[in-house]
Chain A
Amino acid sequence: MNTLVFVDLPCDDPVAAQEFYEKLFGWTINPRPAGEFHQIVPGEGLHLGLFNARTQPPDPDAKPQPPRQGVQPRTYILVDDAPQVYLDRALTLGATKLWDEGWWDEFNGYHASFLDPWGNQIVMWEAKDKREERLGAQA
């Protein structure tokens, strides 16, 4: 069926990255083993992973990599509040802002983006109908 099943993010310090993402998104993250590969279990949808960028599991014969260069693949997270709220929280945890919340007309969604402290790009997404639903529930 050739479907997307996981996305793994490289980082120099999976233990610190686990703490960052637990605090930011409230995810459950399982060290398997600690410092090498940390399995992210959001509670809904696909799992993700945090892998040690030096040892690069599950590569059985990892070679040294050059420094990061170019624009990263973007991982989109469907958030339960305004993307700006999550962006502001990410910045307090050490992320770097890429853009404040904006609107993408072609896909009917609000989004904001950051680089995590290890250089991975995350885009937070809230669909228009979900925002209306959320704001309606708050009214």
Chain B
Amino acid sequence: MPNPMIFVDIPSPDVEAHSQFLADLFGWEFNRRPAGEFHEILPGIKPNLGMHKVDAPVAGPHPRIYVMVDDPPAYLERAIAKGATKLWDEVYWEEFDGRHAAFRDPWGIEIVLWRDKGTYKPGAASRS
């Protein structure tokens, strides 16, 4: 009974602008199903994400999305240039032996940039 996570959907009051922000930043592709209401996000490797239309932006504690990148400071700088707010510069997390930086995008979503160590295998079974 693994019951794995298969998608994450992001709420946004401006689905088109928000999609463009993430497309420009991460190079992700989007399927509009339909445009402005629900956009399927295709990072190139599953799991996919989605974006759904809401009236107001999210605020307060909410689920954080981790995206693996090759250079967290470069992506953080690029996100800030596009209107994001820095949450923290790249630091080391000893418990997980990983380096990360984070930002809040212009619509309130918190994204953690996780440095690719070259050891990640997409689709591999998780291990405790």
Contact = CB atoms under 8 A, between A and B. Distances in A.
Contacts of B35: none
Nearest to A33: B95
Contacts of B54: 70-71
Interface in A83-122: 106-107, 119-120
Contacts of A66: 59-60
Contact of B63 (A1, A8, A27, A69): A8
B95 A65 contact: no
B61 A42 contact: no
A138 interface: no
Interface residues of B, number: 58
A7 interface: yes
Interface residues of A, number: 57
A73 B128 contact: no
Contact of A75 (B8, B28, B125): B8
A99 B89 CA distance: 39
Nearest to B1: A26
B63 A10 contact: yes
Contacts of A51: 64
B56 A7 contact: no
A118 to B, nearest CB: 9
A78 B6 contact: yes
Given A2-B27, A4-B43, A71 B58 contact: yes
Given A44-B126, A48-B5, A68-B59, A60 B91 contact: yes
Interface of A: 1-10, 25-28, 30, 32-33, 37, 39, 41-48, 51, 53, 56-61, 65-80, 106-107, 119-120, 123, 125
9 contacts: A1-B44, A6-B66, A6-B114, A7-B5, A42-B5, A46-B126, A48-B5, A74-B9, A80-B3
Lowest 4 CB-CB distances: which A-B pairs, in order? A45-B4, A10-B61, A44-B2, A6-B66
